[in-house]
Amino acid sequence: MLMLAADSAEGASNLIKTETAAVILIAIAAGVAVLARRFDFPFTVALVIAGFAATALGELVAVEVSPDLIFFLLVPPLLFEATLHIPWSKLKAELFGVLVVALIGTAIGTLAIGALVHVGLDLPWPAAFAFGALISATDPVAVIAFFKSLGTPKRLSVLVEGESLFNDAVAVVAFGLAVAVAEGEAFSFGGAATDFFVISAGGIAVGLVLGYVVSEVVLSRVDDALIETTTTMALAYGSFLVAEEFGLIIGQDGLHFSGILAVVVAGLIQGNIGVHNTSPTTRNTLEQSWELLTFLVNSLVFLFIGLTISPADLLDELPAVLLAVVGVLVLRVVLIYGLTYINGTIKPDRKVPLSFQHVMFWGGLRGAISLALALTLSPAVFGEETVQTIKVMTFGVVLFTLLVQGLTIAGLIRRLGLAGKDETELAQQHLQARLVMSRAAQDEISRLGADGVIDADLTEAMSRAYAADVDTHTEAITNHVRAYPNVESAMALKARRDTLTVERSALGDAARKGLIDGEVVRQLNAELDARSAALDVIEDRWGTDINAQHDVTELDDSLEQVVTTELAWLRGVRAALKP
C-alpha cells in the first residue's frame, strides 16, 4: 500500500512538473509572438532563440523531447492543417514536379550526403546513410511556418509545401532501411523498393478511407461546430496512428504504413471536400480552432529545438557540422536547379520560373522531422561516438537553416518581387472579404429562418439589412476596380480559374450520367488542363498585365496557342466592360 502511495505521489509530482513546463513554454511563446510582431521578426526563428534562453530556467522547463512526442503529438496537426489550405486542383497541376523533387531529390540526397560523411568523417556506411536520409528531407513544420505570412504566389507555396509534405515519406523509409542494415538485416534494392511502395501506398490508402469517411459520412450529416472540430482533430491524429500501428490493429507484427502520407491525404480530402459539407459558421469555427492548435504546437516545436540544441556541442564538433552544412547546401543547389530543369523539359507547360527556383533552394529548411529521427538513433546499434556526431551534425544543419536561411528568406522573396500583394489588391481583397462575409450571413439567416430558430418577421428584417450591406460592398468593389485596372485583371484571372473548375465538374457529371463518351471526356479534360496551365504561365510571367503585347514565341508550340487564346479571351472580357 505504501509503495502504491509512493508511486502515486511520484506520478502526481511528474505531472505537475510537466504541466508547469508547458504553462511556462506557452507563456514564452505568447510573449515571443508579441515581440516578433512588434519588431517584424520571423516568429519561428525568435522561438528557437527563446528556446536557447529558456534553458537557463533549468528544471522549470525540463521536458523530454522524445521522438514519439514530436512524431505522434506535434507533427500530425501541423501536417493536417497545412494541407487543409492546399487546393487539390493546384497541387494536381504541380504533382509531377513536386514528386520529382520530393522522391528523386530525397533519394539522391540520402546517397550523396551519406557518401560525403562516410568519406569525410569515416562514419560506417549504415550510419552515414541514416544521416543522409534524415537530413535530406525538408521539414514541412519549418517551411510552412515561414511561408504562411510572406504572401508568396500560390504556385510557389504549393511547390515548396508539396515537396516538404511528400519527401518525408522517402526520408523516413530510407532512414528505417539504414537502421535495419545496421542491425544486421540484409539489404536489397528490390526489397527496399517493395517496402517503400507498401509503406507509401498503405499510408495513402488509410488517409483516403478515413478522410472520405469523415468528410462524406460524418461532416455532411452533422452541423455542429464542436462535433465537427473534434472529429477533424480525431482524423488528424487517428489517420497517423492507424497507419503507423496498422500491423498491431490487424494482428500482424512489423507491418506499418506512412503516417505522414496518411495525414497529408486525409487533410487534402478534408480541405477540398469536407469543409464544403459544413455551414459557413461551422467552417469559421473549424478554421479558428485549427489556427489556435497549430499556433500552440508550432510554438512548442521550435521552442523544443532551441531547448534541445547545445551550442557547446556544436563547437566541439565544428568541422563535422561545417561539412554537413556545406554538403547540404551544395547538394540542394544541384538538386533544385537540376530537377526543375528536368521537370520543365518533360513538361514545358509547367516550367518553374528561375525566381521560384531561388526560393525553393534557400527555403529548404530542416527542423522537427530531422531532429526526431536523429533522436531515435541507438548507441547500442551505431556506437556512442557515431550517434553523438550524427546528432550534433543534425542540430548544426537545423540551426543553420533556421537562423541563417530563416532570417534571410523573407528578404530574398522581397528582392525577387514575390512577396505579398500591392496595396490596391489588398484593399480589393478587404472589400471582397466583407462582401463574402455578408452573403454568408445572408445564407445563415435564411437557414435559421427555415429551421424555425428565428421567426419570419426577424428573418425578413435581418435579410433586408444584410442585403443592404451586400449592395454597399458590391458598389465599393465596383468603384475600386474601375479605379485600379490591375485589380480588375486579377479578379478576371481568378474568376477564369473558378469557371474552369466548374466546367471540369460539369464534364464529370455528364460523363457519370452516360451523356458523353470516355474518349470525349479525356479530350476535354486535356483541353481544360492546357487552359489551366496557360493561366499559370500568364500569371507567372506577366502577372495582371494582360492588355500589353507579350512575346509568346519562346513557349512550346501547343502552349503558345493556348496562352494566346486565353489572353485574347481575357482581353475580350476587359474590352466588354462598361466604361
Per residue in 431-465, pLDDT (tens digit) is 888 888 888 888 888 888 888 878 888 888 888 98
Confidence band, pLDDT 50/70/90 cuts, at residue 552: low
Higher pLDDT, 153 or 213: 213
List pLDDT tens digits, range 254-296.
788 989 899 999 999 988 887 777 766 677 778 888 888 888 8
Lowest mean pLDDT among 65-69, 149-153, 260-264, 460-464: 149-153
**Amino acid in position 537:** V
- The answer to whether 218 and 231 have CB atoms below 8 angstroms apart is yes
- The answer to whether 107 and 133 have CB atoms below 8 angstroms apart is no
What pTM did the predictor assign? 0.74
* C-alpha to C-alpha distance for 77 and 82, rounded to whole angstroms: 8
Query: Looking at residue 549, what is its pLDDT?
Result: 61
Query: Looking at residue 127, what is its pLDDT?
Result: 93
Confidence band, pLDDT 50/70/90 cuts, at residue 423: low
What is the average per-residue pLDDT within 516-530? 82
Over 50: is that where the pLDDT of 362 sits? Answer: yes
Query: How crowded is the C-beta side of 399, counted as CA atoms within 13 Å?
Result: 24
- The answer to whether 141 and 368 have CB atoms below 8 angstroms apart is yes
Over 80: is that where the pLDDT of 398 sits? Answer: yes
Higher pLDDT, 385 or 19: 385
Confidence band, pLDDT 50/70/90 cuts, at residue 177: confident
What is the average per-residue pLDDT within 402-421? 80
Query: Looking at residue 491, what is its pLDDT?
Result: 74
Over 70: is that where the pLDDT of 1 sits? Answer: no
Query: Looking at residue 223, what is its pLDDT?
Result: 72
Lowest mean pLDDT among 129-133, 200-204, 468-472, 540-544: 540-544
Lowest mean pLDDT among 26-40, 176-190, 201-215, 251-265: 176-190
What is the average per-residue pLDDT within 186-200? 80
Lowest mean pLDDT among 118-132, 138-152, 341-355: 138-152
Query: Looking at residue 10, what is its pLDDT?
Result: 56
Higher pLDDT, 31 or 147: 31
Confidence band, pLDDT 50/70/90 cuts, at residue 218: confident
Over 50: is that where the pLDDT of 570 sits? Answer: yes
Over 70: is that where the pLDDT of 141 sits? Answer: no
Longest Cα separation, the chain:
88
Which of 31, 4, 137 is closest to 75 using CA atoms?
137
Query: Looking at residue 84, what is its pLDDT?
Result: 84
What is the average per-residue pLDDT within 6-35? 78
Average pLDDT over all residues of the chain:
82
- Of all residues in the chain, the percent with pLDDT exceeding 90 is 20
How far CA 109 is from CA of 123, 150, 348, 466, in Å, comes to: 17, 28, 25, 56
Lowest mean pLDDT among 9-23, 63-77, 323-337, 540-554: 540-554
What is the average per-residue pLDDT within 332-353? 90
DSSP state of 137: S
**Amino acid in position 523:** Q
Over 60: is that where the pLDDT of 368 sits? Answer: yes
Radius of gyration of the chain (CA): 26
* Residue spans per domain, the chain: 67-415, 422-483, 485-579
Over 90: is that where the pLDDT of 116 sits? Answer: yes
Over 50: is that where the pLDDT of 128 sits? Answer: yes
Over 80: is that where the pLDDT of 68 sits? Answer: no
Query: Looking at residue 4, what is its pLDDT?
Result: 46
What is the average per-residue pLDDT within 414-427? 70
Query: Looking at residue 358, what is its pLDDT?
Result: 93
Looking up cell 532570417, which residue turns up? Answer: 407
Which of 336, 328, 329 is closest to 352 using CA atoms?
336
Query: Looking at residue 531, what is its pLDDT?
Result: 81
Confidence band, pLDDT 50/70/90 cuts, at residue 473: confident
Higher pLDDT, 417 or 320: 320
Residues 6 or more apart from 300 whose CB is under 8 A from it?
A: 25, 26, 29, 74
CATH class of 67-415: mainly alpha
DSSP string, 49-75: HHHHHHGGGGGGG-----HHIIIIIIH
Lowest mean pLDDT among 117-121, 158-162, 572-576: 572-576
Over 80: is that where the pLDDT of 568 sits? Answer: no
Confidence band, pLDDT 50/70/90 cuts, at residue 571: confident
Which of 209, 119, 132 is closest to 177 using CA atoms?
132
